[in-house]
Amino acid sequence: MVAPTSPGSSAGASLPRPLDAVPASAWVPGGSDTWWTWLLPIAILAPVLVIHFVAPEFYRAYVLPEGYGFLELTQFFLAGAAAVLCFQALGYKVVRGSTLLWLAVLFFALAAFYIAGEEHSWGQHFFNWNTPAYWSEINRQQETNLHNTSPWFNQRPKLLFDIAMFVGGLLIPLIQLWTGGFKKPLLALLTPPLAIAAPAVIALVFKVVDDLGKDYLAAPIFIRPSEVVETFQYLYMLMYVIVLRRRLAALDTAGVTQVTL
């Protein structure tokens, strides 16, 4: 059932109850958000491209390195910020009152926390402790992280992330331009808007570049494009969390205490 709404007062009559209580400005980023939905991705991408092609040695020395390279450090802060925002979102009444929503937000929080921790080997890149001998034997880079020990902690989660972002973040919202949004409240609430698609598109482009360099080209056209892929994936993740928190905050303000599937 769809609730009637006055023009401009909510995200639109296409939203099922109780999501119709969310103002349009909280449901989808608007013009005032252009600085972080569009300008921020460009501000990160432009210098990466310029430095890579104009000063490749500088790129290898300061942009790519583990730990304190620009990309690695950016990845840590993006994922860390997403984790903090998700853990904070667990305190919303609407989240505490909705079991499936609470589990979804908790999963997002733990996933972002895991990514941030793994990117800096759980503090090793900051504090420079030595890797225990027994761990060095199973970790291919001799670091105190999990993702270098097994594909189940690295490639498998990355594949799930790729599917979630490209299908859930791009394909489904594009299809919904013609079909309309989900009628199930929880699914509609968790569906990202196309307004934050810029980093996902950039990540997809570099993913293609990475695959081409590995499988089809004699010489890669970009140095380790996978690092750029991860950076923009985590930027997308942070943007998604910001949008979700806005929606949850609006539901809390409207007195909504439960969102069901």
- Tens-digit pLDDT string for the chain (261 aa): 333 333 334 454 578 999 999 999 999 999 999 999 999 999 999 999 999 999 999 999 999 998 789 999 999 999 999 999 999 999 999 999 999 999 999 999 999 999 998 888 777 777 777 778 777 778 777 777 777 778 787 788 888 989 999 999 999 999 999 999 999 999 999 999 999 999 999 999 999 999 887 767 767 889 999 999 999 999 999 999 999 999 999 999 999 999 998
Helices and strands per DSSP (H, E), number in the chain: 14, 0
| The pLDDT of residue 5 | 37
**Residue 165 near residue 203, CB atoms below 8 Å:** yes
| The pLDDT of residue 132 | 80
**Residue 19 near residue 188, CB atoms below 8 Å:** yes
Q: Which of 1, 52, 4 is nearest to 225 (CA)?
A: 52
What SS3 state is found at 225? helix
| The pLDDT of residue 241 | 98
Find the largest Cα–Cα distance for the chain.
66
* 105, amino acid identity: V
| The pLDDT of residue 1 | 31
| The pLDDT of residue 129 | 75
Q: Which of 197, 208, 210 is nearest to 243 (CA)?
A: 197
Domains of the chain, residue spans: 32-253
Give the C-alpha separation, 15 to 44, whole Å: 34
